[in-house]
Structure 1
Amino acid sequence: MSASPDRRAVDPYAGALISETDRLAALIEPADPETAVPTCPGWSLRQLQRHVGRGHLWAAQMVASGATEMLDPREVAGGKPPAGGPDVAAQWLRDGATALLDAVAAAGPDAPVWTFTGPKPSAWWVRRRLHEAAVHRADVAIALGVPFEIAPELAADGVSEWLGLLAARPAGDEPPLAEGATLHLHATDDVLGVAGEWMIRSDGGRVVWEHGHGKGDAAVRGSAADLLQGVLRRIDADDDRLQVLGDPEVWRTWLSRTGF
């Protein structure tokens, strides 16, 4: 048997992808698969698990093939858990993360591949799938009524990754921020420093952001975990875990115009 590709080549996110996918699988496995997921309307835990697992395999197949166009998710090989109990489905979910890391290591982390934001190095998908798994773990935690716990550094990186996706979008008719308006996000975790502050503005209708401290038209403060859930609309705009200073309408408009 040939040796597995060296997954260390896709650090620093490889280990986190494995860990987050494992935590997600472990949370879903003992639960009723028909449990509704309120933050993903119309989905059950079974559908959420399939979505994440298929997404891992979808990214893996695009990396392995050097895709220059988006692969139809319906054409993903093995895109559904194999027959068996919850343990089989949980392992299938974990195996999807492994498949992506193996594909990136085999192709090379710098190999170009299609992404939502244009051609990018294949390792781009590791970070993307990591944060997809983390946010959907929040969905499962909410559905099951258990705490969502995540390291502040990882949650803050999730906020930055999401802002990067928004910044890559072309300008639209309804920009998230009015021209000249600014939104400041401030994570209250002591360990983060500048990595836990974001200044966001609009430039010709496109999102522009940078790490830093400053006065915005609106400022939103909370733990990195709560800010991550906030910007991805897993908790309400006026949730008590978030402190909104300045014009709250700036924050509400931002959320209403930054959907998936």
Structure 2
Amino acid sequence: MLLEQTELFGEVIRQADPSTPVGTCPGWTLNKLFRHVGRGNRWCATIISERLTEPLDPRDVPDGKPPEDLDAAIDWLNAGAQLILDAVDHVGSQKVWTFLGPRPAGWWVRRRVHEQTVHRADADLAVGAEFTLPVELAADGVSEWIELSTARGHGLAPGQRLHLHATDDGLGPTGEWLVVHDEDGLAWSHAHAKGDAAVRGPALNLLLAITRRRTDGVEVLGDTAVWDDWLTNTPF
């Protein structure tokens, strides 16, 4: 999945003007987005392969800059994703540094898959192309972002509850999310329960909305300020 999403992102870049502005990443061009994703893969691979327990300065990433030639640059991008998988295979379940503290090295594969999908959405939106994603992958992207945000203490104010519901067929419980900030702190679950605000739409649209790429494909019911608070407090 990581290789596939990386390759799809690279093909958008291959066919576009690198100076194209990326509206969902203000101040960025496609060239900067490409470098961010490509170096991010190698940054992650280095953390894993060197079994780091502290964050790595992105400036210290080996081969962190792409070649000037476009085809070679795309190869550099794809090779970086493969380096992650190779590094995980090599270190196994050993724990390394992550945004959430020490986690098994394989934690990074899922994180980078969703990093790739959202930035592919950035690229597609920048060039006016249609962005598509398998429903199950989009739903897992919603779960992963909620998990990451709540674990870092981001999202809702005390007492707030947010419910998201994917309208796609076949997702079952994995298409429901409840985020709660109660006396025990922030937590989330796959639950069908009432929130102060409810956000409904296809899983793909929920993913784009929750990562602040575009919010016009979802319906917001109830206290819209709760949804606004979530978006304000959880920048991708």
Q: TM-score, normalised by structure 2?
A: 0.97
C-alpha deviations, 1:161-212, integer Å up to 9, x for none? 1111112114xxxx63232321100011102111011011113484210001
User: Could you tell me whether the CA contact under 8 Å between 2:179 and 2:188 is conserved in 1?
Assistant: yes
User: Could you tell me whether the CA contact under 8 Å between 1:166 and 1:207 is conserved in 2?
Assistant: no
Q: Determine the C-alpha separation between the residues in 1 that align with 2:184 and 2:62.
A: 39
User: Could you tell me whether the CA contact under 8 Å between 1:169 and 1:206 is conserved in 2?
Assistant: no
C-alpha deviations, 1:37-60, integer Å up to 9, x for none? 000011111110110010110010
Q: Which residue of 132, 141, 144 maps to 2:127?
A: 144
Q: Which amino acid aligns with 2:225?
A: E
Structure 1 unaligned segments of length 5 or more: list them. Answer: 1-15
Aligned position for 1:74: 59
SS at match of 2:54: coil
Q: Which residue of 89, 98, 105 maps to 1:115?
A: 98
Q: Which residue of 203, 216, 220 maps to 2:182?
A: 203
What percentage of residue pairs aligned between the two structures are identical? Answer: 53
1:91 Cα offset (Å): 1.3
Q: Which residue of 118, 122, 126 maps to 1:135?
A: 118
CA shift in 2, pair 1:60/1:25, >3 Å? same
Deviates more, 1:119-128 or 1:200-209: 200-209
CA shift in 2, pair 1:249/1:205, >3 Å? farther
Q: Determine the C-alpha separation between the residues in 2 that align with 1:204 and 1:114.
A: 29
Q: Determine the C-alpha separation between the residues in 2 that align with 1:105 and 1:61.
A: 13
Aligned position for 2:224: 248
Aligned position for 2:173: 194
User: Could you tell me whether the CA contact under 8 Å between 1:18 and 1:94 is conserved in 2?
Assistant: yes
Q: Which residue of 131, 138, 145 maps to 1:162?
A: 145
Q: Which residue of 24, 37, 45 maps to 1:52?
A: 37
Q: Which amino acid aligns with 2:164?
A: L
Q: Determine the C-alpha separation between the residues in 2 that align with 1:51 and 1:57.
A: 10
Aligned residues: 236
1:34 Cα offset (Å): 0.6
Map 1:169-248 onto structure 2 (within 5 A). 169-170=152-153, 176-204=155-183, 206-236=185-215, 239=216, 241-248=217-224
User: Could you tell me whether the CA contact under 8 Å between 1:183 and 1:216 is conserved in 2?
Assistant: yes
SS at match of 1:245: strand
User: Could you tell me whether the CA contact under 8 Å between 1:167 and 1:206 is conserved in 2?
Assistant: no
CA shift in 2, pair 1:217/1:24, >3 Å? same
Aligned position for 2:25: 40
Aligned position for 2:5: 20
Q: Which amino acid aligns with 1:143?
A: A
1:214 Cα offset (Å): 1.2
Q: TM-score, normalised by structure 1?
A: 0.88
Q: Which amino acid aligns with 1:79?
A: G
Q: Determine the C-alpha separation between the residues in 1 that align with 2:60 and 2:113.
A: 22
Q: Determine the C-alpha separation between the residues in 1 that align with 2:36 and 2:56.
A: 15
Aligned position for 1:9: none
Deviating beyond 6 angstroms after TM superposition, the runs of 4 or more aligned structure 1 residues are none
Aligned position for 2:136: 153
Are positions 1:98 and 2:72 aligned together?
Answer: no
